[in-house]
């Protein structure tokens, strides 16, 4: 199964942009790149996903490398509510249930 690698932790200042990296060098052509975030003792919350092209939504932007071996989640203006564990996940579009979760990046936002 394709795996993802993320830094264990990152810090950001409030109101500044945050770039959360993810490496997935063994990604297959049918893997979608998903990002979720999780607060302590809560279920994960969907953030964004993409296949090949960069994606934007109201929460964040997803920049996908041309070779798809890495991606970056961009939070344009971090707020204290963005402090969470962020998971970069590969979901196989042809094999139901094949989702690989890593250990995620703990984002700390300083006021």
| Contacting positions for other proteins (CB under 8 A) | 30, 32, 34, 36, 41-46, 49, 51, 87, 91-99, 101-104
Which CB atom, from 25 or from 95, has the smaller least distance to other proteins? 95
Which CB atom, from 74 or from 101, has the smaller least distance to other proteins? 101
Least spacing, CB of residue 76 vs other proteins, in Å: 20
Cβ contacts of 60 within 8 Å, gap of 6 or more: 35, 47, 48, 73, 74, 75, 76
Element (H, E) at 23: strand 18-23
Angle at 64 between CA 35 and CA 49, to 5 degrees: 30
Which CB atom, from 13 or from 51, has the smaller least distance to other proteins? 51
């Amino acid at each position: 199964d394709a795996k993802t690698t993320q830094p264990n932790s990152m810090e950001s200042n409030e109101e500044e942009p945050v770039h959360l990296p993810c490496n997935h060098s063994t990604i297959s052509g049918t893997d979608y790149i998903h990002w979720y975030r999780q607060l302590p003792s809560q279920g994960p919350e969907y953030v964004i996903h993409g296949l090949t092209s960069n994606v934007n939504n109201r929460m964040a932007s997803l920049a996908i490398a041309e070779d798809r071996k890495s991606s970056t989640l961009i939070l344009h203006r971090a707020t204290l509510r963005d402090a969470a564990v962020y998971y970069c996940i590969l979901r196989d579009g042809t094999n139901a249930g094949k989702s690989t979760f890593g250990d995620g990046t703990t984002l700390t936002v300083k006021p």
